[in-house]
Amino acid sequence: MNPHFSTSSITVGSGAAFVGALLVTFLTSPLTRAEADHSEAPYFLVEGEPGGDEGNAEAFPLKGTDVNATISGVIADVTVTQRYANTGSGPIEAVYVFPGSTRAAVYGMEVKVGDRVTKAKIHEREEAKEIYAKAKTEKKNAALLEQERPNVFQMKVANILPGDVVEVMLRYTEHLAPENTEYRFVFPGVVGPRYAGGSGERDAGGKWVANPHLTEGVAAPAGFAMTVQLNAGMPIQEVACDTHTVETRYSSKGSATVALANDPSAGDRDFILRYRLAGERVAGGWLVEKSGDAEGENFFLLTVQPPARVTSGEVVAREYVFIVDVSGSMAGFPLDTAKRLFRELAGELREGEKFNVLLFAGSSQILGRESLTANPENIAKACAFVEGANGGGGTELEAGLRRGYELPRTDGIARSMIVITDGFINAEADVLKLIRGRLDQSSVYAFGIGSSVNRYLIEGIARAGGGEEFVITEPSQSAAAAMKLRKLIDAPVLTGVSVSYEGFDAYDVEPASFGDVLGERPLVVFGKWRGELAGHVRVKGKRANGDAFEQVIPVKAEGTKNPALRSLWARCRIATLGDDRAFGGDQKETKQAITNLGLTYGLLTEFTSFVAVDETVRDFAEKEAKTVKQPLPLPQGVSNNAISGGGGKVHTTPEPGAPLMILIGVLTLLFARQRKSGGTGGCR
C-alpha cells in the first residue's frame, strides 16, 4: 500500500474543528500531475486527465496484448504483441508498464506502423534513451523498451497520430524446470502498485512506479489473448490452468494447444499453465548448441534430477519467526489468504519448538518480546494475534526484517524466518542485501500471496536467505504449502552439492556453485565447452540421513541445434551478476559486466535497452505529442487500500513545502494555546 498519512482522534480544545477541516482539505486535495510524477508513487486514474488538460486525447492507448508461446521440451519461446492506437484528436506518446517473467531472456523487438516494420537494436540504456528522445523530437515513430526490474518492463511509443495503430512485438525465451515432476509456464498479468515511501525506498527506484491504476473492480479496457502450443517431446499426462478458463486441444499424445477463453478481466492476474508428462517422467539430460564457426561459442544445458527424499532420524531444535505483511495492499483477499496460511504453518509446529510472530506495515508489532514455546495455548494466542490484523499502512518490509533479526535468540537453536507478503515494494535491493548480509543468523523462506505477486522479490528473498520460495494464489493451496515447508526444513534432498566436469573442457558454468537442494527441483546447469564434447559430469552430495550421494551423467551430444541456449546462458549469467549487485557486490564492475553481456548477446538488461526508429517523419501541427501513461488494473483480489486507503482519486507524497509548513505552524500555535489554557493536549 502507499498511503503516506494516517489520522487519529486528537483533542485540541476549541481549535479541533478548524484543525480537522484543515487536515481534510490538506490530505484529500488532489495533487497536480507534475507533483504525482515527481513523488514517484502510484496513484488512481483521474477521469479526463490522462491525455492532458483538454481531456480530448487518448486515455487508454493500449488496445490489446496477444501472447503466443511455443513450448518445445523444456524451453518456451514467447512472442508478445502489444497494439497501441490513438482515438483522440492529437498526437500522443504512450507509456506502458508491464510485468515479465523473472527468467525471461528478451532477445528481440519489432515495431509495425501500417505496412512499415522496423527492427529494434540493442544499445546501452542511456544511449537508447537519447536515440528515442531525438526521434521523438523529430516527429518520427519510435519505441523504447527498458527493464526497470528483472520482472518489470516499460514501453514508450512516440508520436502516435490520431487514427494510427502501432504494433510492438517482443520476443523472449525461458527455461522451464519441473518441480516434483510438474512443469509450470507463468505469464505475469499486471504490475501491482509498489510502495514508494519509507526509509531509503524513494531513492531505490525510477519514475515507472508513479503509474496510474484503475480503482478496485474496474477492468482494463485492453484485450488480452493467450495461446500456448505445447510440444512436450513425450506423451502428456495432464494439462491444467487454475487461474483462467482455457480450451485445450490435443493434436497428438505429446502435443496440445491451449487457448485462453474470452474474459474481459483476464489481464489482472498471472496466467499459470501446469502440465505433467505421462508416467511422471521429466524431460532431463542434455541439450547442446554447437557453433558452426570454429571460433564460435558452444553451449550446453544439463538437467539432473535430484534423488528421492529420505527422512533424517535426527530431530533438530528449531525456532521460527513469522514475518507477516498486513499493509494496505494485503487488505481483503490477500490478507485472508495469509491468515489461513499462518494457521496451517502454526499447525505444523512441533511441541517444544520456539516461535514468534511479527506483523509489519508502516510499523510493526510482535507477539512476544521473546520467542514462545510451541504448545496449544501459545499457538492459539498467535492465531488470534494474526487474525486480529487489518490491512492498512505502508509496506516497510526492510524495517520489519530488521526488527525480526533483532529479536533475542536461544543459543543452540537454528532459526528460520518465514516472510509472508505480496512483495509490492520498490526497494527490493535493500531487502535482499539485508538478508544476504545476515545469512549466518537465519535462513529465510518466502511466501508470495496473491494473484500477481512480485516474484522477483519472493524468489530473491529465498536465494539470498538460503531458503525456498512459494507462491500462493488461492487459499486452498495453504495446507500443502505448509506441509511442504516442514518437509524442506526437516529433510533437505541434498547438502554439500558439488559438480565436476570430466573428459571435456567446460567453462563459464552457471551457477558456479550450488546451495542445498531443498525441494524436488532438478539441478540445472548452463555452460560452454571447448573442443570435443565427451566424458561425463559427476554430481556429489549428502542426503538428509548423512549417506553419501553420487551420480554420473554421461555426455550426450545428440542434436546440436538449440539456439535458445545462447540467450538462456547469458540470461543466467546476468541474473547471477544482478544478485551480486543486489547483495552488495562491486557495483561498477558488475554493471559493466551486465552491460557487456546485454550488448554481446542482444538481450534486454538493467543497463541495455531496445530502441526502434521509423525514419518516416510524421506531419502534425503540435509542438510535441502529449505523454499518456496507460492506467493499470489493480491485481485481482487487491483493494483500493493498495494505493490511497480507498479515499481520494490521487494520493501521493507532497514535497515538504509551503502547504505542509503552514499546517505544522497552525498545529503548533493551537497546541501552544491549549497548553496555556490548562488542557492536556494529549491523544486518546
One domain, residues 232 and 147: yes
pLDDT (mean) for 601-615: 98
Three-state DSSP state, 201: helix
Q: Is the pLDDT of residue 497 over 60?
A: yes
Looking at residue 617, its pLDDT comes to 95
Q: Given pLDDT bands bounded at 50, 70 and 90, which one contains residue 410? A: confident
- CB-based contacts of 558-562 (< 8 A; 24+ apart in sequence): 558/286, 559/287, 559/288, 560/288, 560/289, 560/290, 561/289, 561/290, 562/75, 562/287, 562/288, 562/289, 562/299, 562/301
Phi and psi torsions of 481, nearest 5°: -65, -40
Q: Is the pLDDT of residue 443 over 90?
A: yes
Three-state DSSP state, 422: coil
- What is the distance of C-alpha 225 from the center of its chain? 22
Helix 478-490 vs helix 333-347: crossing angle, to nearest 10: 40
One domain, residues 47 and 146: yes
How far is 307 from 472, CA to CA, in rounded Å? Answer: 26
How far is 345 from 156, CA to CA, in rounded Å? Answer: 44
pLDDT (mean) for 512-540: 91
User: Lowest mean pLDDT: which of 99-108, 144-153, 309-318?
Assistant: 309-318
One domain, residues 149 and 250: yes
Q: What is the pLDDT of residues 342-354, one digit of tens each?
A: 999 999 999 989 9
The larger pLDDT score, comparing residue 572 to residue 17, is at 572
Q: Is the pLDDT of residue 675 over 50?
A: no
Beta pairing partners, 498: 540
Looking at residue 490, its pLDDT comes to 86
Cβ neighbors of 317 (< 8 A, separation 6 or more) are: 353, 412, 413, 414
Looking at residue 294, its pLDDT comes to 67
Q: Which residue has the cell 509551503?
A: 658
Three-state DSSP state, 244: coil
Q: Is the pLDDT of residue 233 over 90?
A: no
One domain, residues 411 and 528: no
Give me Rg for the CA atoms of the chain.
27
Indicate the residue among 473, 490, 507 that finishes a domain: 490
Q: Judge whether 153 and 147 are in contact, CB under 8 Å.
A: yes
Q: Is the pLDDT of residue 40 over 80?
A: no
C-alpha distances out from residue 239 to 243, 278, 487, Å: 13, 11, 27
Looking at residue 30, its pLDDT comes to 35
Q: Is the pLDDT of residue 24 over 70?
A: no
Three-state DSSP state, 108: strand
**CATH number of the domain residue 348 falls in:** 3.40.50.410
How far is 586 from 280, CA to CA, in rounded Å? Answer: 43
Q: Is the pLDDT of residue 247 over 60?
A: yes
C-alpha distances out from residue 175 to 172, 297, 608, Å: 11, 20, 22
Instruction: Tell me the residue type at 110.
Output: E
Q: Is the pLDDT of residue 307 over 90?
A: no
- What is the distance of C-alpha 233 from the center of its chain? 30
Q: What is the pLDDT of residues 109-125, one digit of tens each?
A: 999 999 999 999 999 99
- SS3 letters across 574-621: HHHHHHHHHCCCCHHHHHHHHHHHHHHHCCCCCCEEEEEEEEEECCCC
DSSP string, 474-518: SGGGHHHHHHHHHHHHH--SBEEEEEEEESSEEEEEESSS---B-
How far is 449 from 474, CA to CA, in rounded Å? Answer: 8
User: Lowest mean pLDDT: which of 68-82, 226-240, 298-312?
Assistant: 298-312
In-domain check, residue 578 = no
Looking at residue 205, its pLDDT comes to 57
In-domain check, residue 565 = no
The domain total for the chain is 3
Q: Given pLDDT bands bounded at 50, 70 and 90, which one contains residue 359? A: very high
DSSP string, 649-660: S---PPPSSHHH
Q: Judge whether 449 and 421 are in contact, CB under 8 Å.
A: yes
Q: Given pLDDT bands bounded at 50, 70 and 90, which one contains residue 11? A: very low
- SS3 letters across 554-571: ECCCCCCCCCHHHHHHHH
One domain, residues 339 and 248: no
pLDDT (mean) for 547-556: 92
In-domain check, residue 586 = no
Q: Write down the mean pLDDT value for the chain.
A: 85
- Candidates 679, 676, 654, 649; CA nearest to 664 is 654
One domain, residues 411 and 304: no
Output the nine-digit C-alpha cell for 351: 511441541
Looking at residue 48, its pLDDT comes to 52
One domain, residues 158 and 73: yes
How far is 293 from 650, CA to CA, in rounded Å? Answer: 58
Q: Is the pLDDT of residue 219 over 90?
A: no
pLDDT (mean) for 546-567: 89
Taking CA 10 as the corner, what is the angle to CA 6 and CA 16, rounded to the nearest 5 degrees?
115
How far is 665 from 662, CA to CA, in rounded Å? Answer: 5
- Candidates 212, 217, 227, 229; CA nearest to 264 is 217
In-domain check, residue 271 = yes
Q: What is the pLDDT of residues 517-529, one digit of tens each?
A: 888 889 999 999 9
Looking at residue 305, its pLDDT comes to 87
Three-state DSSP state, 29: coil
**CATH number of the domain residue 185 falls in:** 2.60.40
Q: Which residue has the cell 539470498?
A: 464
- Residue 248 CB coordination number (10 Å): 16
One domain, residues 297 and 389: no
Range of the domain at 506: 291-312+496-556
Q: What is the pLDDT of residues 466-495, one digit of tens each?
A: 999 999 999 999 999 999 999 888 888 899
Looking at residue 535, its pLDDT comes to 94
- Residue 544 CB coordination number (10 Å): 19
- The share of the chain scoring above pLDDT 90, in percent, equals 69
How far is 35 from 23, CA to CA, in rounded Å? Answer: 19
In-domain check, residue 8 = no
Q: Is the pLDDT of residue 61 over 80?
A: yes
Q: Is the pLDDT of residue 558 over 90?
A: no
Looking at residue 648, its pLDDT comes to 32
In-domain check, residue 668 = no
Instruction: Tell me the residue type at 160.
Output: I
In-domain check, residue 258 = yes
One domain, residues 324 and 235: no
Q: Is the pLDDT of residue 655 over 70?
A: no
Cβ neighbors of 657 (< 8 A, separation 6 or more) are: none
Phi and psi torsions of 473, nearest 5°: -100, -15
Q: What is the pLDDT of residues 83-96, one digit of tens each?
A: 999 999 999 999 99
* Torsion of the alpha carbons at 638, 640, 643 and 648, rounded to the nearest 10: 170
User: Lowest mean pLDDT: which of 386-390, 457-461, 631-635, 650-654?
Assistant: 650-654
Q: What share of the chain is helix, strand, coil (3-state, %, to 5)?
A: 25, 35, 40
The larger pLDDT score, comparing residue 67 to residue 544, is at 67
pLDDT (mean) for 625-650: 79
One domain, residues 416 and 441: yes
DSSP 350: P
pLDDT (mean) for 447-474: 96
Q: Given pLDDT bands bounded at 50, 70 and 90, which one contains residue 46? A: low
- Candidates 251, 214, 221, 216; CA nearest to 236 is 251
One domain, residues 76 and 193: yes
Beta pairing partners, 259: 227, 247
Beta pairing partners, 502: 536
Output the nine-digit C-alpha cell for 392: 492498512
One domain, residues 342 and 486: yes
Indicate left, alpha or beta for 659 from its phi (over 0: left) and psi (-120 to 50: alpha). Answer: alpha
Q: Is the pLDDT of residue 37 over 70?
A: no
Q: Judge whether 235 and 277 are in contact, CB under 8 Å.
A: yes
Q: Is the pLDDT of residue 427 over 80?
A: yes
Q: Which residue has the cell 516461535?
A: 355
Q: Judge whether 554 and 302 are in contact, CB under 8 Å.
A: no
pLDDT (mean) for 574-587: 88
How far is 636 from 329, CA to CA, in rounded Å? Answer: 11
User: Lowest mean pLDDT: which of 78-82, 581-585, 673-677?
Assistant: 673-677
